[in-house]
Amino acid sequence: MRQKIIAGNWKMNLDLDQGKELLIKIIDSDLNSNCVTIVAPPYIHLNSFKMLLSHTNIALAAQNCHQQDSGAYTGEISVEMLKSVGVEYVILGHSERREYFQEDSIAISFKVKNVINHGLRPIYCCGETLAERQEGEHFITIETQIKQGLFHLNEMELLNCVIAYEPVWAIGTGETASPEQAQEIHKFIRNTIAKEYGGMVANNISILYGGSVKPANAKELFTCPDIDGGLIGGAALDADNFKALTDSF
């Protein structure tokens, strides 16, 4: 049975004191226990947050990792390092990583495998640009990203993944795909997986929507049959909004 998930991606926001203040407010806000809640702060917060979250049901995620376990990769962070500070999930392939750091699905696939090998869970992101949607190429784009990024995994490995569909044109823009548009893509992703791995695997993978989700539109999105929650950006930086999102199930 697939999980309902709210994952907050803080991106490059909040210094350590600001981050602790927000996390304490989130912890104290009595989040809905009927869904899995995840916070993904900047790297510098992770070790401190491990202690703050130790007696909660909130999971800790990293926003990225390197595909190698160690070596001369100045500025990078390995999965083993993340695991040592209590990280359980790693966001991979976010559209901002793809756009600003030229990461493609093949490169991301090595990160996915490494995260799984260390017992952590990838949150694998996919999605189309506005141009790709306008040109009718969005299904091809997403199918390619899913196949290149995930189809090297066996069934059990894939079942440890979470997928996040994030239309690039709706991230940080205030624009949101309509529930019908979002559901169409989520169903397409599930069907793409089913063709390769079968219905049991496809029906047990959580697929999140990420694209300007906020309390005002969350319930309508989350009632769609193939949308299992959200990868949240800006709204995750406010404790009241984050709680309201968990209450949307």
pLDDT value, residue 170: 76
Taking the C-alpha atoms of residue 214 and residue 134, their distance in angstroms, rounded to an integer, is: 25
User: Which sequence positions are flagged as catalytic?
Assistant: 94, 166
pLDDT value, residue 23: 98
Q: Which two tokens stand for residue 130?
A: 């506005």
pLDDT value, residue 246: 97
Q: How many domains does the chain have?
A: 1
Q: Which two tokens stand for residue 45?
A: 């917060």
pLDDT value, residue 171: 73
For the beta carbon of residue 144, count every other beta carbon within 10 angstroms.
14
For the beta carbon of residue 174, count every other beta carbon within 10 angstroms.
9
Taking the C-alpha atoms of residue 108 and residue 203, their distance in angstroms, rounded to an integer, is: 23
pLDDT value, residue 42: 98
C-beta separation of 43 from 12 below 8 A: no
Per-residue pLDDT of the chain in tens (249 residues, 90 and over written 9): 799 999 999 999 999 999 999 999 999 999 999 999 999 999 999 999 999 999 999 999 999 999 999 999 999 999 999 999 999 999 999 999 999 999 999 999 999 999 999 999 999 999 999 889 889 999 999 999 999 999 999 999 999 999 999 998 877 676 778 899 999 999 999 999 999 999 999 999 999 999 889 999 999 999 999 999 999 999 999 999 999 999 999
In a 13 Å sphere around the CA of 190, the CA atoms on its Cβ side amount to: 20
pLDDT value, residue 145: 98
pLDDT value, residue 168: 87
Taking the C-alpha atoms of residue 18 and residue 24, their distance in angstroms, rounded to an integer, is: 10
How far lies 136's CA from each of 9, 23, 133, 139, 152, in Å? Answer: 29, 41, 5, 8, 27
Query: Domain range spanning residue 48?
Result: 5-246
C-beta separation of 123 from 89 below 8 A: yes
CATH number for the domain that contains residue 80: 3.20.20.70
pTM of the model: 0.97
User: Residue 47 burial by CB count (10 A; 0-12/13-18/19+): exposed, middle or buried?
Assistant: exposed
**3-class SS letters over 136-177:** CCHHHHHHHHHHHHHCCCCHHHHHCCEEEECCHHHCCCCCCC
